[in-house]
Amino acid sequence: MKVLVIGSGGREHTLIWKIKKSPLVDKVYCAPGNAGIAQIAECIPLAVSDLSGLLDFACTKSIDLTVVGPELPLTLGIVDEFNRNGLKIFGVNKKSAQLEGSKVFMKELMSKYRIPTAGFRVFTDAQLAKDYVRQKGMPLVVKADGLAAGKGVVVCRKEAEARQAIDEIMERRVFGAAGDKLIIEDCLAGEEVSFLAFTDGKTVLPMVSAQDHKAIFDGDNGPNTGGMGAYSPAPLVDDNLYHKIMERVMLPTVKALAAEGYDYRGVLYAGLMIIGGEPYVLEFNARFGDPETQVIVPRLASDIVPVFQAVIEGKLAEIELNWRTEAAVCVVLAAGGYPGKYGKGDLIGGWDKFDNSGDLLLFHAGTANREGGIVSAGGRVLGITALHHDLKQAIASTYTGIEKIQFKDMYYRKDIGHRAIR
């Protein structure tokens, strides 16, 4: 079969690396891809937002399965377009993508169906939001309603920080239309966990747990990014917590969506805060996480392609997932200055020392081919993942792997996995 993967990051490189292992697959395309993906798949210069171009390509090439990586094409309705043309595509439809595309929709759904989350208020007026901050007291979390590439959430310890976040989101419009509304919610203190599952709208098939590191600096300090590293499993998720997450969050959310008339088929990703052994939802995403994919998918022993097919066909109850017992750790190598302004076009050395055949893996994110070699082309440039039966050794192997890579102003966190070690 011929498979098209939509996206250009480390998540998509990881998915293609896994898809190519399937005996069902003959050919893989990626739109638009990156320099690393181009080594294992045919890259097509189509933007993830070019729905008509992607549809034309899939029809012309008789693509048997399309897998959507990022959230933007999901919120634009790519699944609906492909379905109308009789094409099989893995991902949620436009209506269901509101779960990620609108934090207001997400919070109101949880409130209606009593899914545990932080208390919140919704605002469309900046001054009313600032008045609420003054009255409520700190700390608080300010969130842009729409998509903001993982950067539209600001944890505020001081009133001045909250006022600044409101100004940036609603007045300066740093996230564009995503700031038409904002949410101010109570700040939950605990430990974060990422919990992902496949669902066909009826069956919920969980993946192994993971933990992301959003903040740019060591010690979880500084502004949020798209993610600076991850590890799996999260030791915090024991059997007891696993069952709580399934019974109080994942299953009720899928049932709530169905009750509201949403045909939700794809990945349900819950970002959770664990407080006193109880899970509270910080956010939902409607697709694979990045960089969580780089630690979850390498642990999947099963063929991933039949899983995609079962989700699309509503037959997920027939699928069982087998997982490797090793732990996996991923560290993201970013361009200096990220998540603010950063340079591009810097030559990358050492990438050719990885063949991705063993337990040390290199996944490209913001990279491009230029005359003379592979160069940086994004804020998050590369991700290095290592697997080992011992989590500490997996961490050590990942950082040893980093020593093989060089590019100008390369930056990475030195403490990925610190919570698990603690």
Residue 185 confidence class, pLDDT cut points 50, 70, 90:
very high
Mean pLDDT within 204-221: 95
Give the whole-angstrom CA distance, residue 410 versus residue 20. Answer: 30
Give me the percent of the chain exceeding a pLDDT of 90.
Answer: 95
331 with 314, same domain: the answer is no
Question: For position 147, what pLDDT does the model report?
Answer: 87
Give the whole-angstrom CA distance, residue 391 versus residue 6. Answer: 32
Residue 419 confidence class, pLDDT cut points 50, 70, 90:
confident
30 with 13, same domain: the answer is yes
Q: Given 318, 343, 358, which residue is the final one in a domain?
A: 318
Give the whole-angstrom CA distance, residue 399 versus residue 415. Answer: 10
Q: How many domains does the chain have?
A: 4
Give the whole-angstrom CA distance, residue 116 versus residue 110. Answer: 7
Give the whole-angstrom CA distance, residue 339 versus residue 342. Answer: 8
**CATH classification at residue 131:** 3.30.1490.20
57 with 139, same domain: the answer is no
Mean pLDDT within 271-294: 96
Distance separating the N- and C-terminal Cα atoms of the chain: 45
Residue 72 has pLDDT above 80, yes or no: yes
Query: Residue 242: inside a domain, yes or no?
Result: yes
272 with 310, same domain: the answer is yes
Mean pLDDT within 234-257: 97
Q: Given 318, 344, 376, which residue is the final one in a domain?
A: 318
313 with 199, same domain: the answer is yes
Enter the tokens of residue 320. 């069982």
Domain of 401, in residue numbers: 327-421
pLDDT digits (tens, 9 = 90+) for 92-101: 999 999 999 9
130 with 176, same domain: the answer is yes
Q: Round the average pLDDT of the chain to a whole number and report it.
A: 96
Give the whole-angstrom CA distance, residue 417 versus residue 232. Answer: 9
